[in-house]
């Protein structure tokens, strides 16, 4: 409950002056200027009636938010005796009245030698209040205005209070009856002028959501996005995501999602409608971090997601990610494409070789469990496979159990589609290669061809693509076509966006001079 401005608004002036209060004695001059029209020698003025204690200001008061009231509509009492009317306000002209504002000091009233029988009492030198005081601080405004002279009438005998209460009660009942009758009449005649509320013609499940909206895309894609549970032979495992690739029951996901189940483990796939299927690994590619699994007894009504063209994606395009972050299946998040061709190296956490990708970067929320799920464009086409996040827990890319910080990475679908099709055909991945070993150090000057290859082999394969293009150990590759190469992992990720047989232009440095050469990419089958 908001308490903003509570106690600062000025309540409206009452329609009649409040009951008189005892006022301190004032000078003869003050009496002369502030008393009513009582003529000298006409006898003593009528005695004032006994003031009634105001329940509006009594006690301390507490707002419904559980905080102490500050003198607004809840009002505070300031000791015994008559209270200020309406929210702690001092009666107009009351001398040394308790301050209404809680931040102002409370001054006890001065002792008086005799009460002033006139109304209003002498004007105070200073009366603290919220905003402007009633009637300009108690000054007269004419015979009929608030703050004008007022003569207390003589008290009437018997029954006056009871009649007043009865009259007020009768007025309340009449007003209540009128209000009820008027409300019934307005409702019966459907008179819209009595209300400013507007009711929707449709709501909830009755609303038709256009295909291009986030809700429309999610409604179409969710039935074809699955939650994958992988378990190794030793009982270890985890949860990830995948999506329907074809009507034969193939599901595409990340390699690191199913890595635990590759050798003798178990796989289960759950659809959003709750149906669960056993599955098996068809093929997996550690380097690409792509895997294909197949449902056992696949249903006949599978609807594959439409694959887009990741080459046509632009920075700033809308994205929609679907997955099971931390096991929360069927979670939909949105964002944009933050960058393209982002070099990323990740691992499945099992100590196997790293994966390299020239990734789509997105700020759509991606967490552990989103891996393998689809990254969609605004039309619902798959443009990538969510694969890695920037982890604050380990300072790098991978599967560290950290939350989303807006840096997620997806394998472009053009690359993943090619890999998946190869896995379905042969069960093994096929990689493009240049036939040279490069340093994997994180540098910014380029990808340097090492002096020696793995396990003591040649750094440049004899008769391979690099050898035929004239590359030698010590050369530093700085570009592949128009892509800037700043390190070995960047070069590998960029090469793997191509297919074997593609022709590329290599820019490299040798002995301080920049050179270029044409190279036809070779192929390598399998991860070993």
The per-residue pLDDT for range 331-341, each reduced to its tens digit, is 999 999 999 99
* 418 lies in the same domain as 434: no
Q: 312 falls in which pLDDT band (50, 70, 90)?
A: very high
Q: State whether 515 and 442 are in the same domain.
A: yes
Provide the CATH number for the domain around residue 332.
Answer: 2.40.10.10
Confidence of residue 132 (pLDDT cuts 50, 70, 90): very low
Residue 125 placed within a domain:
no
Q: Which residues contact 196 (CB under 8 A, 6 or more apart)?
A: none
- Angle of CA points 119, 112, 101, to nearest 5°: 70
pLDDT top residue among 252 and 38: 252
User: Whole-angstrom Cα distance, residue 200 to residue 506?
Assistant: 62
Same domain, 417 and 441: no
Query: pTM here?
Result: 0.61
Q: Are residues 449 and 519 in the same domain?
A: yes
* Domain, as residue range, for 349: 317-390+403-423
Q: Give the model's pLDDT for residue 29.
A: 40
- 71 inside domain: no
**How far apart, in whole angstroms, are the C-alpha atoms of residue 14 and residue 87?**
12
Q: For 498, what's the count of Cα atoms within 13 Å in the CB-facing half-sphere?
A: 22
Predicted confidence (pLDDT) at residue 313 exceeds the cutoff of 80: yes
Give the mean pLDDT of 171-182: 46
Task: Say if CB 256 and CB 322 are below 8 A apart.
Answer: no
Among 153-162, 225-234, 300-309, 454-463, the range scoring the smallest mean pLDDT is 153-162
Same-domain pairing of 236 and 283 = yes
State the CATH number of the domain containing residue 469.
Answer: 2.30.42.10
Which residues are identified as catalytic? 256, 289, 371
Domains in the chain: how many in total? 3
Q: What is the DSSP string of 224-245?
A: GEEEEEEE-TTS-EEEEEEEE-
Short-list 317, 339, 333, CA closest to 373:
333
**Higher pLDDT, residue 440 or 309:** 309
Ramachandran sector of residue 302 (left: φ over 0; alpha: ψ -120 to 50; beta: rest): beta
More confident: 431 or 101? 431
Task: Classify the C-alpha dihedral 141-142-144-150 as positive or negative.
Answer: positive
Write the CA distances from 517 to 42, 114, 365, 444, integer angstroms. Answer: 124, 113, 42, 21
User: How does residue 39 score in pLDDT terms, banded at 50, 70 and 90?
Assistant: very low
Q: Dihedrals φ, ψ of 426, to 5°?
A: -120, -15
């Amino acid at each position: 409950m908001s308490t903003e401005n509570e106690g600062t608004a000025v309540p409206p002036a009452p329609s009649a002056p409040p009951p008189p209060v005892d006022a301190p004695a004032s000078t003869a001059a003050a009496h002369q200027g502030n008393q009513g029209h009582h003529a000298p020698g006409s006898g003593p003025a009528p005695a004032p009636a006994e003031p009634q204690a105001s329940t509006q200001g009594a006690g301390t008061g507490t707002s419904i938010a559980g905080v102490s009231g500050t003198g607004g509509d809840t009002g505070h009492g300031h000791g015994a005796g008559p209270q200020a009317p309406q929210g702690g306000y001092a009666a107009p002209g009351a001398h040394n009245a308790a301050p209404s504002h809680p931040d102002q000091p409370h001054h006890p009233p001065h002792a008086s030698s005799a009460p002033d029988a006139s109304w209003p009492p002498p004007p105070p030198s200073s009366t603290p209040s919220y905003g402007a005081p009633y009637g300009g601080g108690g000054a007269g405004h004419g015979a009929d205005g608030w703050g004008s002279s007022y003569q207390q009438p003589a008290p009437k005998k018997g029954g006056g209070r009871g009649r007043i209460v009865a009259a007020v009660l009768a007025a309340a009942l009449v007003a209540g009856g009128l209000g009820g009758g008027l409300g019934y009449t307005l409702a019966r005649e459907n008179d819209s002028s009595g209300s400013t509320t507007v009711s929707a013609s449709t709501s909830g499940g009755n609303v038709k959501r256009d295909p291009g909206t986030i809700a429309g895309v999610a409604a179409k894609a969710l039935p074809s996005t699955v939650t994958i549970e992988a378990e190794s032979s030793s009982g270890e495992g985890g949860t990830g995501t995948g999506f329907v690739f074809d009507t034969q029951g193939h599901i595409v996901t990340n390699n690191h999602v199913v890595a635990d189940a590759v050798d003798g483990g178990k796989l289960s796939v759950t659809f959003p409608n709750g149906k669960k299927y056993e599955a098996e690994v068809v093929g997996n590619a550690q380097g690409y971090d792509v895997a294909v699994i197949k449902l056992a007894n696949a249903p006949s009504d599978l609807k594959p997601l439409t694959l887009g063209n990741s080459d046509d994606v632009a920075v700033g395009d809308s994205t929609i990610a679907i997955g099971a972050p931390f096991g929360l299946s069927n979670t939909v998040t949105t964002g944009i494409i933050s960058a393209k061709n982002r070099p990323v190296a990740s691992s499945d956490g099992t100590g196997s070789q790293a994966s390299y990708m020239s990734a789509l970067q997105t700020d759509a929320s991606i967490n552990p469990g989103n891996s393998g799920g689809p990254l969609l464009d605004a039309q619902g086409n798959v443009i990538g496979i969510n694969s890695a996040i920037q982890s604050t827990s380990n300072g790098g890319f991978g599967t560290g159990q950290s939350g989303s910080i807006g840096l997620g990475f997806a394998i472009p679908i053009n690359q993943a589609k090619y890999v998946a099709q190869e896995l379905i055909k042969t069960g093994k991945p096929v990689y493009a290669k240049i036939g040279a070993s490069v340093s994997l150090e994180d540098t910014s000057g380029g990808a340097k061809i090492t002096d020696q290859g793995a396990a003591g082999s040649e750094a440049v394969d004899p008769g391979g693509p690099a050898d035929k293009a004239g590359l030698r150990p010590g050369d530093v590759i700085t570009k592949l076509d128009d892509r800037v190469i700043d390190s070995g992992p960047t070069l590998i990720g960029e090469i793997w966006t191509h297919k074997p047989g593609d022709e590329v232009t290599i820019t490299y440095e040798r002995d301080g001079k920049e050179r270029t050469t044409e190279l036809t990419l070779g192929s390598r089958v399998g991860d070993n």
